[in-house]
Amino acid sequence: MRRLRRLLRAADGRRLTVALLDVPALMGPPVVRRPPEFIVGIAEADELDAHRRLRRAAFVEEQGLFAVDDADGIDDDPRAVVLIARAGGTVIGGVRIAPVGARDIGWWTGSRLVVDDAARGVRGVGSALVRAACALAEQRGAIRFDATVQTRSSALFRRLGWTTTGSCLIGGVDHLRMRWPVDRYQRIVDATKSHLEALLEPRTSWAHGPAASLGGPGWVGDDGAPVPGTDVIAACDAILPSMVERDPEWAGWCSVLVNVNDLSAMGATPVGLLDAVAGRDTAAVRRVMAGIRRGAEAWGVPLLGGHTQIGVPAALSVTALGRTDHPVPGGGGRIGHALSLTVDVSGTWKDGHHGSQWNSTEGRRPHELRDLAATVARARPSAAKDVSMAGIVGTVGMLAEASGLGAVVDVADVPVPGAAGGGAVSMGDWLGCFPGFGMVTADPPGGSRMASPHAVTAEVGRLTPERGVVLRWPDGETTGAVAGGVTGLGPA
């Protein structure tokens, strides 16, 4: 047992000696942390050269896959990223990832995975590099991640969760085409919408309720609900309490925005708002109200009244009322209908919400916002859904589910901010974010009439008999995005 003495200074300035006892029986043996055998990270300039030397030694000199050099166009692509494994300052392995094609649409590949002969006794280098490549590719916006792998090495990839999609020969050696399953959009819909069936129980708890419950036949799960016996459409949205607490004015603005979008998707003209707002003090609630007032003025919708509480946790919900003689259903799609996306690609990511909330609305003038809000009423598509927190892919899934169908989305056809300039926004983020103003509509092919000078409209897919949402790529391949229904509410 060791005795340590520590000098402490008392409040009156006297020095005190305190004995500290280190008792192994009570504290256990000292923890000895072994340093990691290697570390994986993004390569620096000199480490790129080391990776290329390892590649040449393995693929040219040892395996003979390439006659002279294994360099290719990816090495010259400024978007490519090389990950290397370092051990004691020495590069012992590496792999590179890069987008496919001149425009990054979220299709990435991994290649040139190599581990130094001298380090093959160090366990887990190859696996660590592959895992890091998958994580970094998804972080950079990949929603399809492929690799061509020597057949003898494919077991490692399968253990990590990769699937085989084909085979080929390279340099006379058998290879497998393999793919990493990216479940980004499934996770989004699971987090935002999948609980609705269990909570609402549309086929049990409400089966014998009033006819208009949950919107009534033809409107179950829609953006708004027709009020029986009237031309009124009612919609209601709540804002995340954390967002109300952190950014109250933006929360107030968004509470108007999302409700106007819901009414717009129904082809209704907004006529009034009712709010329920709560906060820790009057200053916090005043900031929320400032955002609501600013939004109400921008879209020209009166705040009719509501309810306010002080001295409680932050909360905000808004109910909106609109009018239309002919509401547009969310479930009016048919097999073979073309899916169109009408979206405002101006703006930028909202501060503090990068990758999840696109702010296209705060920079718009009132007449522009009101024109966008009237697009569905003017065009009267067969079906319409406004893009919600489930993102573009999730909203496509909700329209398809309400129509009793599935959908395929042609990724390369989706309008993206900055696409003409090389892709300022990753496709991975864009397809899963809230875009400010976005409408998914269904019509016979070539029949969309959705148009506004302040938005872009493009056909982006089709409704299909197979449930769920798949993404279709320029090479004809498809990848799963959402399995089955989004909400579980079924056909409207």
Domain match, 236 and 347 both? no
Q: What are the pLDDT digits (tens) for 253-281?
A: 999 999 999 999 999 999 999 999 999 99
Task: Indicate the helix (H) or strand (E) that contains 406.
Answer: strand 406-410
Which residue, among 327, 133, 129, 318, has the nearest Cα to 233 in the 3D structure?
327
Strands (DSSP E) contained in 10-79 are 15-22, 39-42
Domain match, 359 and 474 both? yes
Question: Among residues 119, 154, 182, which one ends one of the domains?
Answer: 182
447 vs 333: CA distance, rounded Å: 13
Q: What are the pLDDT digits (tens) for 309-325?
A: 999 999 999 999 999 99
The reply to whether 232 falls in a domain is yes
The reply to whether 202 falls in a domain is no
The reply to whether 213 falls in a domain is no
378-410 core/surface letters (b: 16 or more CB in 10 A; e: else): ebebbbbbbbbbbbbbbbbbbbbbbbbbbbbbb
Domain match, 458 and 333 both? yes
**For residue 118, with 0-12 CB atoms within 10 Å meaning exposed, 13-18 middle and 19 or more buried, which class applies?**
exposed
385 vs 14: CA distance, rounded Å: 74
Q: What are the pLDDT digits (tens) for 111-134?
A: 999 999 887 678 899 999 999 999
CATH of the domain at 482: 3.90.650.10
- Which two three-digit tokens encode residue 463? 């409704």
Determine the average pLDDT of the residues in 433-449. 96
Domain match, 371 and 298 both? no
The domain in which residue 281 lies consists of: 224-328
Domain match, 368 and 465 both? yes
Query: How many domains in the chain?
Result: 3
132 vs 113: CA distance, rounded Å: 12
Question: Among residues 288, 312, 328, which one ends one of the domains?
Answer: 328
The reply to whether 21 falls in a domain is no
Domain match, 318 and 464 both? no
The reply to whether 164 falls in a domain is yes
79 vs 58: CA distance, rounded Å: 24
Question: Among residues 126, 148, 182, which one ends one of the domains?
Answer: 182
Domain match, 78 and 166 both? yes
* Of the listed ranges 15-19, 214-218, 270-274, 346-350, the one predicted with least confidence: 15-19
Domain match, 78 and 120 both? yes
The reply to whether 214 falls in a domain is no
230 vs 271: CA distance, rounded Å: 14
The reply to whether 354 falls in a domain is yes
Judge whether 460 and 385 are in contact, CB under 8 Å.
Answer: no
The reply to whether 244 falls in a domain is yes
What pLDDT is recorded for position 25?
A: 47
Which residue, among 197, 98, 171, 89, has the nearest Cα to 141 in the 3D structure?
98
Judge whether 110 and 121 are in contact, CB under 8 Å.
Answer: no
Domain match, 349 and 323 both? no
Domain match, 68 and 162 both? yes
CATH of the domain at 244: 3.30.1330.10
**Who contacts 132 (Cβ-Cβ below 8 Å, separation ≥6)?**
40, 83, 95
